[in-house]
Amino acid sequence: MSKYQTISGVSEGFYKEKGSKFYAFAVPCKTEEEAKTYLNNYRKSHPQAVHVCYAFRFGSDKKVFRASDDGEPSNSAGPPILGQIQSFDLTNVLIAVVRYYGGTNLGVGGLIQAYRTATKEALENAQIIDQEDEQLLELNFKYEQLPVIMKVIKNHSCTIIEQIFDNQCFMKVSFPVSNLMLREQINELIKE
């Protein structure tokens, strides 16, 4: 089964050293495009920050990941952030750490400590949840079948992604891959 752990919502961490401030933001997300949007928003909302370093990991197999030092000395920011994601065994998560420079250089060791500690606090403040890979199902059915289809969807805790209700209805839903019977059950209802 493709189960994994992630976080349920945004959480924050903070670390201060020699006047420099490190604000860590842990964000649940599933794609690199989504991560880029969050990173751009953090850069815009913190224009005085000197760095926005980050790491992310995606997929239940945890094979898609990236870390960025964003101008800090090589391997002093991104890898420590990624290391905390790995330490907590999480995926489908982005951690961005916004740094405000305090006037004193911290050295590589100090930076590693700062980025690691801010990230760890953000993850300790997060609600960690179990998730499972989902699959999409696109449905085309008659309007009269809507109440029965909706009942099945609610009983199986599906997430409605898109819906169009007309004489002929369309719905796109996602549901856990372990729920193999749902696809068959809905297809049987639509045939009737």
Please give the pLDDT value at position 192: 59
pLDDT tens string 93-147? 999 999 999 989 999 999 999 999 999 999 999 999 998 888 888 888 888 888 9
Closest listed residue to residue 22, CA positions, set 94, 122, 108, 91: 122
**What is the structure's pLDDT at 35?**
96
User: Residue 119: what residue type?
Assistant: T
Q: CA 87, 93, 61, 76 torsion: positive or negative? A: negative
Following DSSP, what letter does each residue of 87-115 receive, concatenated?
HTT--SEEEEEEEE--SS--HHHHHHHHH
Distance CA 154, CA 117 (A): 41
Q: pLDDT per residue over 146-155, tens digit each?
A: 898 888 888 8
- The domain ranges of the chain are 3-130, 133-191
Query: Rounded to 5, what percent of the chain is helix, strand, coil?
Result: 35, 35, 30
* Domain 133-191: CATH superfamily, name plus number: K Homology domain, type 1 (3.30.1370.10)
pLDDT for 46 beyond 60: yes
Cβ atoms of 133 and 155 within 8 Å: the answer is no
Q: Which of 8-22, 37-51, 177-191 has the lowest mean pLDDT?
A: 177-191
Domain 3-130, classified CATH 3.40.50.300, yes or no: no
Q: pTM of the prediction?
A: 0.80
Q: What is the mean pLDDT of the chain?
A: 92
Angle at 72 between CA 71 and CA 76, to 5 degrees: 140
The pLDDT of residue 4 is above 80: yes
pLDDT band at residue 1 using 50, 70 and 90 as cut-offs = low
Give the end-to-end CA distance of the chain in Å, rounded to a whole number: 32
Rounded Cα gap, residues 122 and 158, in angstroms = 30
Contact 96, 42 (CB under 8 A): yes
State the virtual CA torsion across 139, 145, 151, 154 in degrees, nearest 10.
20
pLDDT for res 155: 84
Asked if residue 10 has pLDDT above 70, the reply is yes
Instruction: Please give the share of the chain, as a percent, with pLDDT higher than 90.
Output: 67
pLDDT tens digits along 166-192 = 888 999 988 888 777 787 777 777 775
pLDDT tens-digit series, residues 25-36:
999 998 999 999
